[in-house]
Every structure is written in structure tokens, then in C-alpha cells.
Structure 1
Amino acid sequence: MQTLDTEHTLSCCILRRMNKPLKGIDVFLNWLTPSQHGSATSYLIASGLIVAALLGRLAIAPSESGMPFLTFFPAVMLAAILGGAGSGLFAMLVCVVLANYMFIPPFNSLSLTFNAHVFWTNIVFCAEEMTVILVVEAMHRQHSRFITTNHLLEKIKESEQILQNSAAVLRESEERFHVMTSNVPGIVFQCHRDANEDRLRFTYVSNGAEPLLGINAMAIQMDENEFIGRIADKHSCAFHDSMTRSQANLSLWNWEGAILTAEGQMKWINLRATPRRYGENICMWDGVAINITDSKTNEEELLRSQHMLRDLSAHLENVREEERKHIAREIHDELGQVLTALRMDVSLARLSFGESNPQLMERLQSMTQLVDRTIDSARHITSSLRPGALDLGIVAALEWLAEDFTGYAHIPCELVMNNGDITLSEFSATAVFRIIQESLTNIARHAAATQVEIIVTRTDDHLCFDIRDNGKGFDLYSVANHKSFGLIGIRERVAILEGDLAINSKLGRGTSVRVCVPVA
């Protein structure tokens, strides 16, 4: 093939070199070519040449001098050259008639009597002119072929230049594409799959396969199992399911999973590819597989940190509740007993000495009221730290909470208990109680509600608490953009319980907070 191309190039060079000195002649011959003139123009040229030849013949010698075809011969030849074979034949016939009429006796007449000399003179003239006409026609055809060949050479030259330019552009595009795919931090690939087959075939794999998997790109193109066979078993099913969905719906193929490299190292990759139809049954993907091992490791570390923080938060919350319980019991047992004894002593002193001393009676009465207020404050502090009703279970605690809320907020609060076992562990009951307590506090501060409901429902594996009000509501988006420590505390407690939280609210249509916690 290379030899043929070399010979073709040399032939083109030789023809182009031969063509250079002939370009001037070619321009002249182009003007002489009969195809450059119309048929009527050719016959007009022939007529003009005949008239010129006749006038020339009359000017050179009289009609009786012989040589009847003296000037007609070049006229016919020029007519053939300028007008072609048809024009030459026309000029030859007219010249024969004119020569016989004007220059062959009897003059100025056409004799029908056979004359051998005249006959052979005409035959010789016609034979010579026919020879000239044929030669000129052959030259015309040769020149036409020459023009055609020259035109083809020019076209070939232009085509060669276009092909060279296209090849250069293609090489540049290929080099640019290979540089781009080589610099992508992963594998750029193209693959296809027939709807009637389960086999995935790779038609292109970039050189990024070597640093990512330690496998040559050509090896993956030859055997797709060099890639698919290295996917971790626990992620293989997800890989094929995502591929099947993408092929069926022509949706983006998005998969991430672990894959084993040639060195035995496990790496995480994210594969994204865009599908397109190729024929009736073939789906083709163009995509990229990126190494996400570092980000996956960081994600796992972050999740571990979050779990540790959540465990720490749960531990701190548990410690805080235990401390509240301890302080509440200390206040109830120690301070409560002391205040009760003090009140009894004040009452005894009032009975013993108050009647004899009115001024002392007044002071003792004031002391009794002060001790009563202190006892009420101690009870309120004890209830705030940890309601005693929590020791009786979540139901008793919620009944106390609803009654207490109605008392201090002056908003009716109804507790609705559906059928089912409503039992929680001490830790879960305390967390749920704090969640509902915080919700009621928010209602009292911000909702401007006139009615509140606490609805408790039980499913097979969840216990759900709905806190609803008919207040003014709020914009969830605006609240999400502000630091609301009450909502943050609710979300954190729900997360500790591994439950679900849903908050629905619209301006002017109230608010609903739903908390579902798992139960055994």
C-alpha cells in the first residue's frame, strides 16, 4: 500500500511538472476547442473563412489560371480547427461547389458531363481535406482528454490537500482526546450491551485503568470480566441492577461500589454513564469511573464520628437526667423534710405563744406564709427537674404534663390515647417526655393557639406521638435557616432514639409535630 501511494504521488508530481509549460498553450487551445463555441457560431466562422478564401483566390490568380482549390484548402482546415468536424465538412462541400462553379471550365456553371480529370481533382481535394478534418478532430479529442485529465489532476490535488488537512485535524483531535482522557482521575470508557444478551462489552477504555486498577486498558476491552469480575460480591448485584434500569429507561447509569485491584487492594469507585440507543436492541454508554476511595474513607470516618458524638450526647443526656433525678430527690427528701419540720415548729410556736403576744403572732403568721411559698417553690423546682409522674410511666407523665400546661399557659390541652401497649424504657420515656415538653413550651411562647392535642398511637414496631395546635404556624424554610435550639434539641433526642421526626406547619393553619420511636 505504501509503494502504491508513493507511485501515485510521483505520477502526480510528474504530470504537474509537465503541465506547467503547457498552461499558456492550454489557454489558446481552450479558445480553439469547438466546445467553446455554439454550433451556429461554428458554421458562421466556416462561412467567413469560405468567403475569405474565395476573395483570396480571386485576388491571387484569375479563374482561368487553374489551381481551383488554391485557397480553399487552408479555409477548410481552419474551419475544422475552429468549428470542428461538422464545420469542416460543411466548408469542404461548399468549397468543392464554388471551385467547380467558378474555377473549373465551363466557368460560372455546373456541368453534369462526366470529366475524369475534374472528378479525380475533386476526389483528391476531398480526400486531403477529410484527412485534415480527421487529424484535427483527433487533435480536438486528444485536447479534450488532456483538459479532462488536467481537471482531474486539479481535483485530485484539491482532494489530497483536503485529506491531508482532515488527517491533520483528526490526528490533533485524537491526541487532544487521549491527553484529556489520560488526565481524567479515573477511567473514561464506552461500552454496549445487547438486549438479548447479558454480556457487557467495552469498546473503549482509557489509560486511566492502569493507575486505578493496575490493569491494561486493552485487557478490559478484550475481556470485560477483567473489570466486572473484580467487583465486590456484595456490590455486584447493585451494579447489574443499575445497569439494567439504565438500559430499560435510558436513564443515567449511576453506581458506586468496591472493586478489587490487580494488587489485591480494595478501592471504591463511582461510575456514571449516559445511555443512548445504537440500533434496535443495543444500548451504548459513554461514561467515566472515578476513584472515590479517599472520600468514601472520609465519609465512613465522619459517620463514625457522628455515631460517637451521638453516643456521647446520649450519655450526657442520660447523666443529666440522672443528675436531675438525684437533685430532685435531694430537694424532695432533704429540703422538703426540713421545710416541713420548720413549718410545724412555726405552727407550734404560734399556738403556744401567739395568743399572749399579738406582735409575735403576726410575725409567726408571716413566717408560716414564707415557709409555704418556699415549699411550693421546692415542689415546682422538683417537678421541673424531674416530674415524679415519670416514675409511674410515660402515660402518667403525659397526663401530668397536659394538666400542668393547661394550668400555667391557660390553653386547653387534650391527651388522646389510642388502644395498644404504651410502654417505653425509662431512657426512651424520659426523652419522649422532654420532646413533648419542649414542643408545648414552643406553643406557649410562639403559637398563639387556643387548642392543643397530644395524640398517642401504636403500630407494630413504633410508638408515635402527635402534638398539634391551631395557632398561627410558621415558615419551615425560614426557621431552618435560623438557629432554633429548641428544634435542634428535639431533632437530637429523636436521633438518639433512632426515631423519625416530621414537622408540618403553614402560616395561619397551625403546626403538627410527629415523633415515632421504635419499640420492641
Structure 2
Amino acid sequence: MSTRLEALSAAYLCGLRAYLEAASEAGLAHAYELGRQAMADGLGLLDIAQLHRAALDTLVLPAAPADREHLLDASTAFFNELLAPFELSIEGYRAALTASEERFHLAVSGAMAGLWDWNPQTDEIYFSPQFKRIMGYEDSELPNEREAHFGAIHPDDRDRVAQRMKAHLEDRLAYDIEYRVIAKSGEVRWVHSRGQALWNASDTPYRMVGWILDVTDRKRDEEALRTSQEEMRRLSAHIQQVREQEKARIARELHDDLGQQLTALKMATSLFEHTADKDRGRADQHALNGLYTMIDNLVQSVRHIAADLHPVILDDLGLIPAIDSLVDEFSARYGIRVVRHIDADGISFNRECRIDMFRMVQEALTNVARHSGATEVVLDIERVDPHCIVRIVDNGRGAAQQGAKGRHSFGLLGMRERAALLGGEIRISTSPGKGFALTALLPLASIEAKPTP
């Protein structure tokens, strides 16, 4: 027996003897102080039970049988008072534990996490109601069975989850993983799961507790961001390629068209200069007519190249006349009828938006000519507050929604980019055999000219 326990045992025996001789509040107060001293000395309940038993053997057992019941009752009262500090301490621990559990549950509830608690030895498991809600189930619909969740993990992710769990239980590596689950509705959702196992003295895991958090929206946002970044990279590369191609096209036209016409003009001028005097009179008018024709062709070529680079009519007459001219040229070139419903008289388009809107219509019509096999196009431009709506619908072969992205993706990317610069968006509607509809929703606040003060 330790020195502290011996000293306390002697004090307890003395105090109990005095209390049995004359029960009093002072005696019970002395028992309470002995209990506080036992706690301060680091003695446990087993130590206290041993010294109480020894005191009973000394003070109660030798007594006459008629006195023992009274002595036992008094001893029990003294012993209970000695235990009071221990009971208060235990209640404090319980209260602290309860408060800690409440804080944990509040934190988990605030994070919308679903809890799970698993016994690896018996395979018993508990799923919280929030866990089941993440999976799309009511509390009573999903049984507390491990297979109920493991079977819902996406087939492509099951081995990865199982390997991570094994690595945690056997090698104590962190269990922190994101994987897909198939909810009750059949929807594929993403969850983030973390857990921590407990091991006994023989290094066997006997409990594992963790949570799952629905991260589907974050995953979708990340995928949308990756897709957008990839599209931007592809668009940037395509723009650079188109820029170089445009430079090459202009150079070819200047060389092949203007160059040839200028050469012919030079040769005609030289021939005119060397015409014999006797033939000069008859040849003058004929040669001049030929020169005039070449010059007219040269001017038309220059105008055509300039119009391709930037339509002058857009600056001179405005957006709607420029689109009308574009549509007339489109119909004449491709033989595709265009039905126009343009009701934009109430919109004063600002200078910055005109080229973007013109190019969107131009690209949409180009796509119709190249890809749709259509015989008719409907072009709508109208004001539907707070938007200006531009809609191009053809009666061509159409495409599946997914296939529509690849059919002329760079053209669509360019149109989406132009619409985004104006604060708007592009919407596509198509299906095989049902034509192709492209709608641009453009905020009036971005495209209307601001009134001058």
C-alpha cells in the first residue's frame, strides 16, 4: 500500500469511528474533505473501496449483530459523502463530453455532412439521417448495412475506395477520398469522405468513424471551369490559326486577283502606248474601254476584300441595313431563302456592339451554308425587354445536341465569346432531322447607345 493510501486509510478509519460514535454534520463534512484529499492525491475509486472495506472489517464486523445494521447505515452515509467529490467530477466530465458532442454535431450539421460509424470486427454500421439524405433516401429507407452504401458506389470507383480503406486499416494511411455514388433517383453524385479508425492493444481496428459530404456542385463547377479553360485554349489557338489563314488569303487575293489585274492593266497601257500612229485613232476607244473595265474590276476586288475585313456599310448605315445586305448576298450566293422578321426599330445599337452582332449573324449563316443542307432560314431580331433576341433557325438536317458541339465548334465558340463580351449568352436547340436553332440573348443595357446629355 502506498504512503498516501496508508495515511488516508488511517484518517478514514479515525473519521468513521468518530462518526459512528456520534453522527453529526461535522463528521460528514470531514468525510467530504477526505474525498477531496483522495482526489488530490490521485487515488481512484478502487483505492477508496479498499480502505472502506478495511474500515468495516475493523469497526462493524466485531460489533454485536443487533448493532450491525445501524452501523452499516451510518458507514454507508459516511462513505457516500466521501464519494461526493468523485461524483461531481464525473458529472463534470459527462457535461464536458456532452457539450463536446453537441459542438461536434452542430459543426457536422452546419457542414451538411452525413456520419457513419462502423465496427470492422462485426461489420455493424450506423448511417446518420443526413448520410441517407445525401444518398436520396429517407431514414427508414436505407438499412444500416455496409453493403447498402458500398453497393451504391459507382462501379468504376469501388476498387479505389476499397483500396484506400484497406490502406487505412492495415497501414494507418489517411482515409480521405472523393468518389461517385448512385443515388436513389439514379443520379450520379460526388461525395467527399473522411474517416478515422481506432485500434486496440493487439493492433486490431475495432471501430471507424467518419463522414461524407455532397460535393456534386463543386465537381460540376470544376468540370465546367476545366471545359471552359480548354475551350478558351482551343479558341485561342484557332483564332491564331484563322488570323494566319486570313493573312494568307488576303495575300493570295492581292497577288492572284489584284496582282494579275494590275499586270494586265500595265500591259494594256504599254500596248496602247506602242500602237502605231495610223491605228491610234481606231484603237483608242477600244483600248480605253478595256482599261476602264479592268479598273472597274480592280475597284470591285478592293471593295470585296475591304468588305470581308470590315463591312463599311456597318459604319455608314448601321447594323440592320448591314445585316439586310449580308442576307441578300447570302441568298444570292447559296440559293437559300431567308425569311426576315426584324423588329428592332426601338433599339439604338451602340457602335461597340455592332460588329459583334453582325459577326454572330454572319457566322450563323455561314454554318447554315456549310453544314445544314437547309433550303430556308428564318432570321428574327426583336426586342423583348430586358433583351434583344437574335434567332437563326434553319430547316436542315439538324444534329444531336452533343454532336452539334463538334459540327462547327469553333464557330459556336466564337459566337459564345462575342455574346459573353456583351453580357449575353448563346442557346442551341437541335435534333436529327429537325433543323438547327441558334438564339442569342443580349442585354439591352449592353448593346443600346447611351443617350447623350
Query: What is the TM-score normalised by the length of structure 2?
Result: 0.42
TM-score w.r.t. structure 1 length?
A: 0.37
The answer to which structure, 1 or 2, has the higher relative contact order (CA under 8 A, 6+ apart) is: 2
